Amino acid sequence: MLIREFGAPGVLRPERVAVPEPRANQFLVRVAACGVCGHDLLNRAGHFGGTHLPAVLGHEIAGTVERVGALVTRYRPGDRVALLQRMPCGLCRSCREGRENLCRSGDGFYGEGTSGGYGQYVLASERNAVPLPSEIPFDVGAVLSCAVGTGFHALLRARVHAGDVVVVTGASGGVGINTVQIARLMGLHTVAITTSEAKTPELRHAGADQVIVTTEAGFHEEVRRASGGEGAAAVIEISGTPTFASSLRCLRPGGRLVVVGNVAPGNVALNPAVAILKEIEVVGSAHAVVSELIQVVDLVQRGRLSPLIAARMPVTEAAAAHALLETRATRGRIVLTQAHG
């Protein structure tokens, strides 16, 4: 499914393209499943300058190794793998520090710098792949790096401890509901923010201690009450612009606002006095690194974590999947599946 222009979901169209050829340090992966992320919607609409048309979107990928380059030693044809969103170089400062999610010298982010999972095949390397156990279906494996790993990484960036109050905005979305599950495993007191009363039972089941339903983005007073007047230790900010102001106001002194997503691209207002007087930290958080994805796979394999799949659709229905996600009516992740002949 290719886009030749930026625009509405209808720009996603089927087209035949050449199978990519792996270099000596790469391998070819036959895609089995690919998650549909809010990032994909923004990319399709043209919000990322690094995406060059024509482009194949999709960065939440699981599949089977098809062919390996001469320098690949840890994988062989037939191996099941889950992939990180980015192919790092392994040589730059970020990679050497174990922060390969910040690498800008490698082959890039799927769907932007390199062809993504809405196609039948993608390239990968030993630096962005982890083995996927046979007990984990491909549709679940596809969402582990982003829908699950992103929240896991953000909670680590938040530097929280068992018993801390943590707020998750956009909690019923693909990243949000899995972040709630992970927060429960970490022993956190989790406050989930959603815009729909109907999503409350699912969030409670995922582990939310309190669910706040709001359309006004004014939830800070309720968070303060839930925390005995102190405020939250951290906010995992997945919605971005719509909730940013209230998220900032519900932090306790010394709290951390971890910015993960932004559903409405643009600037937000930040009063420096608030950050100064309360020593608030605003922390950016990208996606998981390999070591974190390995931990996520282990949690799922052991049954500690159950990623929520909202819908499974054939990749040929990618445009419909984008339109469905834009309604914000889904709970969990939409996954596109490939049919290989």
Q: For residue 216, is pLDDT > 80? A: no
Residue, of 331 and 319, whose pLDDT is higher: 319
For the segment 190-216, the average pLDDT, to the nearest whole number, is 90
Confirm if 44 and 82 have CB atoms less than 8 A apart: no
Residue, of 197 and 55, whose pLDDT is higher: 55
CA-closest candidate to residue 103, choices 294, 296, 290:
290
Residues 217-238: b if buried by 16+ CB within 10 A, e if exposed:
bebbebbbebbeeebbbbbbbb
pLDDT above 70 covers a percentage of the chain that reads 99
Q: Where are the beta strands (DSSP E) in 69-187?
A: 80-83, 86-87, 108-109, 121-125, 129-131, 165-168
Cβ neighbors of 311 (< 8 A, separation 6 or more) are 321, 324, 330, 334, 335
Q: For residue 341, is pLDDT > 60? A: no
For residue 79 the two structure tokens come to 């191996």
Q: For residue 154, is pLDDT > 70? A: yes
Integer Cα distance of 228 and 222 in angstroms: 10
Helix H or strand E encompassing 56: strand 55-56
Give the tens place of pLDDT for each residue, 264-300.
777 888 888 888 999 999 999 999 999 999 999 999 9
Say which amino acid occupies 19.
V
Cα 253 from chain centre: 28
Residue 217: per-residue pLDDT: 67
Half-sphere exposure of 232 (CA within 13 A, CB side): 33
Site of tokens 């196609």: 119
Domains of the chain, each with CATH number or no CATH:
2-143+307-337 (3.90.180.10), 148-284 (3.90.180.10)
CA-closest candidate to residue 142, choices 254, 34, 264:
34
For the segment 64-76, the average pLDDT, to the nearest whole number, is 97
Confirm if 81 and 75 have CB atoms less than 8 A apart: yes
Helix H or strand E encompassing 140: helix 138-142
Taking the CA atoms of 261, 229, 155 and 33 in sequence, report the sign of the dihedral they define: negative
Give the length of the chain.
341
Helix ranges, 186-313 (H): 200-206, 220-226, 244-249, 272-278, 290-301
